[in-house]
Structure 1
Amino acid sequence: MFKLIDKKIREAFSDAAMQYDVLASLHREIGRELVKKIMTVEHCHEALDVGMGTGWLANRLTHVFPDAKVVGVDFAQGMIEAAKKREGTFEIVQADARCLPFEENTFDIVASNLAYQWMSDLEKSFNECYRVLKDKGYLYFTLFGANTFNELFDSLEFAFDGDTLPIKRLADKEQVLIALESSGFKNIQINVERINTHFPNMMVLIKWVKDIGANALAKDFFVGKDLLQRADHYYEKNFREHLGILATLEVIWVEGSKGV
């Protein structure tokens, strides 16, 4: 029996909920492309959005499949409340992605947009997806990959000079594939895309990272003033461009199915 996502991570997402939509223009842009892929499914009676956040994807799925039952799941109370304020006909459930409160073989589609990167155990999360999917059901999701925030990691590694960093890199493409195969998924397609974004400075980037929950995989995100200044100087020197400091986002696109 594993422990559910701890209170600290749950609260980190809840506190960010009201500003999450402001930060989520990129999430929605990626979500639109994800929806285009999902639209290739001809028939869907029940669909699940895992890590729904404020409910954008779940709401879109109700338009793509107007006759289907759409369920959105999130573990943070703040996100649940934000999703309830969105106009839509989808069902909202508060639950851990590693312990979904649904029967086996329930959904034709399980989808997720930029949520699985925060899961501490991908295989357990994918096991649950596989369990609740119907035979010949489809899995579609995106997540940030290991090269996300490369410049920030490089700067912190320079400042920490070999000591343990306060955050750790996300799963890479190979780790995602292994977890999916271990869970039983077939017909897996994985594509990787890198997106260059810019921020005014490193501190604004770190705040954004914390707001979207990226520090949730570490025990703490505390860096002393001297180390921050050292990292900031390195960042400015090596990654400053005319639009601001460069911050790479690596997006992993995944499709798979249960059964042949």
Structure 2
Amino acid sequence: MNAIDRRQVQRHFSASACSYDDCADVQKRVARKVANLVQVEGAAKGPMLEVGTGTGYLAELIAARYPGLRLLVSDLAHAMTRAASQRLPGAWAMDLDAAALPLATETMAYVCSASAYQWVENLPRAFGECHRVLQKGGSFIFALFGDGTLDELRGAYREALLCEGRESPDYLVPMPSKHRVDASLAAAGFEIFRVWEEVEREYHGSLASLLRCLKGVGAHNASRCRPRGLASRQVMKRLEGNYIQRFADGGRLPATYRVIYGIAGKSG
């Protein structure tokens, strides 16, 4: 498994803070679903921590439904935390590493997150931190991109390398499976209420448009095993040709995201 370079994740998302909202269509869809789950769970009392807030879109949705809710927004990337703080001047804001939360034990009634934990290498440890900071009876509501996300791009890239007579190691960061998410929640001590998968899909007019969108939301390759520099022009040409030949739908290129949602609790 390719290890995730935390510093690269931090750098990429800081650089994309200004472009994120313009490119994050799928991420916003996921955030709206998480906000609905929070409302169904009735998170109207007690402080809430959002892990990986990005520009604060999810937090803004939640704050609008629960005026006066004590909300702490956090992100690994300082530019994202700053953007969320400007969006939500009434919220607390901190730069936080999901795998090592600098918060006291049992201080949060709720923890929520959307489209962030796929960038965390040690899920059991990160989920364990959520469990630790939650009060007894508290809830953890989240969504992350799972195994199968951007499979069109991954497959077309591997084929392009093979066509060039090169080995095709998967340098891209792997996304967690539902089984891994379930196991990580259990290892952290959570009572698992429900974990399930849904598919989101967006379409682009060209490969260049898709890659610009990924760059715009900070979703660069953050594997420590990634090769230096960009792929050769010939590989990129083959990549686009493979993508069009295998996946084009009515002249558009699909990008599929497999989203894992979860609701878990800390027993009282």
Per the normalisation by structure 1, the TM-score is 0.91
Give 1:228's aligned residue.
236
- Report the Cα distance in structure 2 between the residues aligned to 1:209 and 1:188, rounded to whole angstroms: 32
Give 2:182's aligned residue.
177
SS of 1:89's equivalent? Answer: coil
User: Any idea what the Cα deviations from partners look like across 1:192-216, whole Å, max 9, x if unmatched?
Assistant: 1112211122232223223323334
Shift of 1:63: 2.8
- Report the Cα distance in structure 1 between the residues aligned to 2:25 and 2:234, rounded to whole angstroms: 33
Shift of 1:9: 2.2
The aligned length equals: 257
Please say if 1:40 is aligned against 2:40.
yes
1:136-155 counterparts in 2 under 5 A?
A: 136-155=137-156
Contact 2:143–2:261 (CA under 8 A) maintained in structure 1? yes
- The answer for unaligned runs of 5 or more in structure 1 is none
Please say if 1:188 is aligned against 2:196.
no
Give 1:244's aligned residue.
252
Shift of 1:243: 5.2
Give 1:131's aligned residue.
132
Task: Please tell me the root mean square deviation across aligned C-alpha atoms, in Å.
Answer: 1.9
Contact 1:48–1:58 (CA under 8 A) maintained in structure 2? no
SS of 1:140's equivalent? Answer: strand
Give 2:24's aligned residue.
24
Shift of 1:49: 0.4
Please say if 1:61 is aligned against 2:66.
no
Give 1:8's aligned residue.
8
CA change 1:245–1:9 in 2 (3 A) is same
- The answer for unaligned runs of 5 or more in structure 2 is none
Shift of 1:184: 0.8
Please say if 1:201 is aligned against 2:206.
yes
Shift of 1:153: 0.9
CA change 1:147–1:177 in 2 (3 A) is same
Picking from 194, 202, 213, the partner of 2:218 is 213
Give 2:170's aligned residue.
165
Per the normalisation by structure 2, the TM-score is 0.89
Contact 2:5–2:223 (CA under 8 A) maintained in structure 1? no
- Which is further off, 235-244 or 79-88? 79-88
Give 2:261's aligned residue.
253
CA change 1:35–1:247 in 2 (3 A) is same
- Report the Cα distance in structure 2 between the residues aligned to 1:149 and 1:86, rounded to whole angstroms: 30
- Report the Cα distance in structure 2 between the residues aligned to 1:235 and 1:138, rounded to whole angstroms: 41
The percent identity for this pair of structures is 26
- Report the Cα distance in structure 2 between the residues aligned to 1:144 and 1:59, rounded to whole angstroms: 21
CA change 1:169–1:207 in 2 (3 A) is farther
Contact 1:46–1:68 (CA under 8 A) maintained in structure 2? yes
